[in-house]
Structure 1
């Protein structure tokens, strides 16, 4: 009972639309740096993990034994939540439901019955997951979970799970929230060391993208303005951009702002821009009244950027890799258009294009339809048959999940719902893609149209 025709392959270099976006309206292209213009090799994960692990021992006096814990590549995926009350790493869907089978304490999955006993429900209360909106009167922060939504947090999760496992195995009592904060602070305090090591050996850590220069050239030719706003320091960005684009990389940009401290750059109103002196490698005290090409700025706010340039609203398209700190505020507060760079899309699309995956996904759809149609028949034979079908469906779902990532499955969906990460991505990004240079496949006057999805009450499909 297998279908004759499987869906066509998805283009790994595609640009995918959540919202209609007409590039003719866009006059200004803005970029984040890390994991947007600069994409890192797996060696970056190992570097951050090792630096963070050593810092835990040196600064926080963690047991010497954790020095033997090696980084496990492909253990965690971006977008998971860490429950710092219970010490669990888990995956939530767009309805805040826990994906059973994707709840981990240390390196081991927690059995479903234990998860349900701990949470008393599969759905997590929203106050546990999301802080109250900025403008609400409820200033109390009751959140008990933190989402790890950028790629720099993947090695953090690896370290967190490894140390948790070490404590459990050695019967060492620990406080999950203290451990989480120590791991986060250790990895983040190592960023200056990481910056220095990357600067000394760029090609070891940075993926070359030969199309980036051509992409910038094309935007310039189309008379588009360009700016860079990054949290990273200048010497680090400069070395990376020289490697990616060439010595004259700054010529492409109308404004360059480093050490911006996003998301505060997008939310604070009064933090003055400073000029950075490249020669003396220090910030100047001069008042900034206009933004000049070729000058490096640091800190500041988006309000100053908009006021000094006149760039506003839908004429600005900003690209970043973090749906919240890069994209949420600029789209919700300032009406900018947004693009997300999601590096994992390459692996996800390769998996979707696999022949066996397509067959399994198609058969799962058909099997679910058969169960749905026959579930109201009564009688013991019917129930036995339904149980068999349900068993097969569960096995198929697990097989489909594990081909993306053995522990947590796809970044974008739980078994059938979008993940919590997807929901936020689709809300805050007008378009998303695996690499910024995927845009070279489209003209600078292209309009991206979102697919007309089928709502639950509409036809089962628009295709005849």
Structure 2
């Protein structure tokens, strides 16, 4: 649906090739989190933690090791310092780091293919049209106006696109609230769309699960902006009202900033330094800014952990069976499959020539996980059955790159980690 929303706009409004509207299930294999799109060259890149290029494609077509070495060498990619400073997009590139964005990556790659075929271009200048397609489909008034393809599609058939929340997760949310925790929902979606999603996923009583709901939060700016730059606003009939000088009580708000929110949390908890644990699935919009600007604990929801065979650590005395979470001891059905074109999200081998021995490197995406997340989990369901006082091992506990993965690290990361510790 997301792909169609953008493709329809490019074809009908901007005159792109109608062929873009046809998409095969196999082509979705191109979608892989952590890719960087270099606008000018029309190339998608998978980066190592040191910024070198591990794999690349021109449009949808994979580049060979020879082409990668010829184009990028073994040196840091030219915009890596900006990317690693967590600027997810600039005039030169865009970082695809969550599933909501990914269909756009496939569309951009196919646009490059199409332009090559018809125009033989060397430099590409279509990103502004992609931005226009995004604006058209997702602008704040789009839901109300039934504008574009995306919102009408979800409204007409929510069951087709939305999964209902498992009962175990609802029960967990209630347990947290009953234990005196303050629950927040912070989303960049506008209030009308958020309401549709939550009613469908959690039920019509979804507001009872949360003390504070913040919509149109415009993350990561929610964390990085000052109260003056991004004040909270009240809502009436999904229309934003005047700016608030501070947050005085729990409720439903729009926009806002983490500083004023934290002041309210101090007031509500009666603590000078309340601890916030923030769950998110985007490194750029959720995990990095919450850790970097607000110093919150961060739980990274990483479906890629489901694509890996779960390695169950040996029983330890400190963990009796009743404290086992949902996924320990048996492999879940993997709803997630590893991209054949791009390989593992976590590691890859350096492009080598001929018979050169392959060197396995962690990806930049993998490095970010252990740097900015407190822990990483495959889903909320994976921890919902654990006792509320369950003690997770943090990534920072012994400076381990794998300690914070629950229930266990991705298999691809284990051999290297173990061989390092043996030395």
Shorter-normalised TM range = 0.7 to 0.9
Give secondary structure in 2 for the equivalent of 1:408.
coil
**1:190 partnered with 2:137:** yes
Unaligned residue ranges in structure 1 (runs of 5+): 1-46, 354-402
**Aligned pair partner of 1:63 in 17, 25, 42:** 17
Distance 1:314 1:409, change over 3 A: farther
* Contact 2:348–2:361 under 8 Å retained in 1: yes
Give secondary structure in 2 for the equivalent of 1:285.
strand
Q: CA RMSD in A?
A: 3.2
* Contact 1:215–1:440 under 8 Å retained in 2: yes
* Contact 2:304–2:378 under 8 Å retained in 1: yes
Give secondary structure in 1 for the equivalent of 2:153.
helix
Give secondary structure in 1 for the equivalent of 2:126.
helix
How far apart are 1:142 and its partner, in Å? Answer: 8.8
How far apart are 1:57 and its partner, in Å? Answer: 1.7
* Contact 1:319–1:341 under 8 Å retained in 2: yes
Which deviations, in whole Å up to 9, do the C-alpha atoms of 1:46-96 show, x marking residues without a partner? x01011011112222223443345562222200011122221112111121
TM-score after normalising by structure 2:
0.75
Which deviations, in whole Å up to 9, do the C-alpha atoms of 1:374-400 show, x marking residues without a partner? xxxxxxxxxxxxxxxxxxxxxxxxxxx
Give secondary structure in 1 for the equivalent of 2:362.
coil
* Contact 1:199–1:240 under 8 Å retained in 2: no
> How many angstroms apart in 1 are the aligned matches of 2:68 and 2:264?
53
**1:122 partnered with 2:66:** no
Name 1:20's counterpart in structure 2.
Answer: none
**1:89 partnered with 2:48:** no
Name 2:373's counterpart in structure 1.
Answer: 429
Distance 1:252 1:335, change over 3 A: same
> How many angstroms apart in 2 are the aligned matches of 1:155 and 1:461?
38
Name 2:176's counterpart in structure 1.
Answer: 219
Unaligned residue ranges in structure 2 (runs of 5+): 143-147, 313-336, 350-359, 403-414
Name 1:204's counterpart in structure 2.
Answer: 160
* Contact 1:156–1:184 under 8 Å retained in 2: no
Bigger CA radius of gyration: 1
**1:256 partnered with 2:208:** no
* Contact 2:17–2:114 under 8 Å retained in 1: no
**Aligned pair partner of 1:304 in 253, 260, 273:** 260
* Contact 1:84–1:180 under 8 Å retained in 2: yes
TM-score after normalising by structure 1:
0.69
**Aligned pair partner of 1:78 in 18, 27, 33:** 33
Name 1:409's counterpart in structure 2.
Answer: 343
**Structure with more relative contact order (C-alpha pairs < 8 Å, separation 6 or more):** 1
How does 1:28-47 map onto structure 2 within 5 Å?
47=1
